[in-house]
Structure 1
């Protein structure tokens, strides 16, 4: 396999990295490639795609909150060749982001659109209240579009528990189009369990919500509150559906895949399997000796 093929393979591995484990995958790939300069140049585009798709969060210098790295967050002045900058609408600033070190730098103030800002800020406030109530470690960002009456709401929540061998990420994105009275959304969930195995769950759920005209014409705070209520209801229903699916899988699907326990109703301890075999042989020999003794005693009686 030549260098190009190895880099392409490494990039494919990175794009499939479980939540919170991108550095572990990168370190493993680094060992395989054995050329840091080649690795950095070759996999940087894959790292960028991964960060944008996974809604990676970053600490913005000078503020007390995290921001989301995504396609919607890309600053208009960003170019493919030059330093890439992203918008943090909450602090009304842009910053430079390094996809390899996952660090933000050089924050700069940015002017906001005075027409869209009142509703955008109201949506942001309602989104923050929503994640505070439902996501333990959630981050939300709301972006206004260059098109009138269009906004993007993004939510991400990460939970990493390497001590118990699992990690997970919830992502949801909603394109709010008040001109058409609709919301187009998607929910993406990734969970990785890797204790004595390697199991990944990846789900994608799309939805379309109708926004009542009364909500569109309401004042920004009231409109934003109703829009987030619609999102809350949709996500709540999806979580209930997932819970029902998991219960069914646990009680039926996985149960059918499992091998029944032995008569002892205990799992086999494979570290002691040789001992089990030796015990069985001893019991067999004991029975054979007993039968031989009984036969000999019967023969003496006949004499």
Structure 2
């Protein structure tokens, strides 16, 4: 395997990293590359893609909150020598290091005056919803560039518990189009459980709703509140469906994947395990069952 193939393999591993474990994966793939300079330069595009799609969060300089780093947060790269991300809440932009996950060089940002009142109303309602339902969640609300009637709501909540061998991430993104009176988005859930095994859940739920006239005709605060009520209802139903699925898997699916007893129809006496002649006993048991 040549150097470029090793970089490609390392990038693939990074893009599949479970929530909160990308640094562990990065340390593991260092053994594949054996050259930190080449590794960092080669996998930087993969790190960037991972951070943007996973809604990585950044501590906003000179602010007391975090902001989501995503495609929706990215300013038009053709207008900047370096890629910058916007935090509408603080009205700041910043540079973001995809390797260290640090934000720097804050600069003031002037939002679109026509879109800002409704965006701010969505932000207020989203933060209220966030604090009610998510543990340490982060939300960012953006007005779509070049439009005063299109908005993006993004939410991410992470829970890492390496001491108990599990981690999880909830992401949701909604695009509000007030011209078309629609709410479209998706919910993405990733969970990794790795105590004495390696089990991952990765699921996506698409959302497509029409906004009723009571929403589109209301003033900004009331309309934003009603939109978040629709999101709350949709996410609540999805959470219940996940819980029902877990219940069924625990009671039926996983039990059907394994035998209740060995072929001998008897539990193994582990104190005598070294004395078993497995081949002979299984053969004898097979003949016995066949003659019965």
Q: Same fold (TM over 0.5)?
A: yes
Taking the aligned partners of 1:158 and 1:277, their CA distance within structure 2 comes to 44
Q: 3-state DSSP class of the match of 1:9?
A: helix
What does residue range 63-82 of structure 1 map to in structure 2 within 5 Å?
63-76=63-76, 78-79=77-78, 82=81
Q: 3-state DSSP class of the match of 2:113?
A: coil
Going from structure 1 to structure 2, the CA distance change for 1:79 and 1:40 (only over 3 Å counts) comes to: farther
Greater alpha carbon shift after TM alignment, 82-91 vs 52-61: 82-91
Match of residue 257 from structure 1 = 257
Deviation at 1:79, TM superposition (A): 5.0
What does residue range 127-276 of structure 1 map to in structure 2 within 5 Å?
127-145=126-144, 146-261=146-261, 273=270, 275-276=271-272
| Deviations 1:271-293 (CA, angstroms, capped at 9, x unpaired) | xx4x4235779xxxxxxxxxxxx
Taking the aligned partners of 1:278 and 1:149, their CA distance within structure 2 comes to 73
Taking the aligned partners of 1:21 and 1:279, their CA distance within structure 2 comes to 43
Unaligned runs of 5+ in 1: 282-303
Q: Under a length normalisation based on structure 2, what TM-score does the superposition of the two structures give?
A: 0.89
Deviation at 1:201, TM superposition (A): 0.4
CA RMSD of aligned residues (A): 2.1
Taking the aligned partners of 2:114 and 2:79, their CA distance within structure 1 comes to 30
Deviation at 1:259, TM superposition (A): 2.5
Deviation at 1:30, TM superposition (A): 1.1
Match of residue 301 from structure 1 = none
Match of residue 110 from structure 2 = 111
Q: 3-state DSSP class of the match of 1:119?
A: helix
Going from structure 1 to structure 2, the CA distance change for 1:81 and 1:221 (only over 3 Å counts) comes to: closer
Q: 3-state DSSP class of the match of 1:253?
A: helix
Going from structure 1 to structure 2, the CA distance change for 1:165 and 1:80 (only over 3 Å counts) comes to: farther
Going from structure 1 to structure 2, the CA distance change for 1:210 and 1:30 (only over 3 Å counts) comes to: same
Taking the aligned partners of 1:21 and 1:64, their CA distance within structure 2 comes to 25
Q: Under a length normalisation based on structure 1, what TM-score does the superposition of the two structures give?
A: 0.86
Taking the aligned partners of 2:200 and 2:81, their CA distance within structure 1 comes to 36
Taking the aligned partners of 2:86 and 2:209, their CA distance within structure 1 comes to 27
| Deviations 1:151-170 (CA, angstroms, capped at 9, x unpaired) | 00000000000010000000
Structure 2 residue aligned with 1:277, among 267, 273, 276? 273
Deviation at 1:246, TM superposition (A): 1.2
Going from structure 1 to structure 2, the CA distance change for 1:44 and 1:280 (only over 3 Å counts) comes to: closer
Higher alpha-carbon Rg? 1
Q: How many residues align?
A: 275
Structure 1 runs (4+) deviating above 6 angstroms are 266-269
Indicate conservation of the 8 Å contact 2:112/2:148, yes or no: no
Taking the aligned partners of 2:268 and 2:170, their CA distance within structure 1 comes to 37
Going from structure 1 to structure 2, the CA distance change for 1:8 and 1:268 (only over 3 Å counts) comes to: farther
Going from structure 1 to structure 2, the CA distance change for 1:14 and 1:280 (only over 3 Å counts) comes to: closer
Unaligned runs of 5+ in 2: 278-292
| Deviations 1:135-179 (CA, angstroms, capped at 9, x unpaired) | 011110000012231000000000000010000000000000010
Match of residue 288 from structure 1 = none
Taking the aligned partners of 1:10 and 1:221, their CA distance within structure 2 comes to 47
Taking the aligned partners of 1:75 and 1:149, their CA distance within structure 2 comes to 18
Match of residue 121 from structure 1 = 120
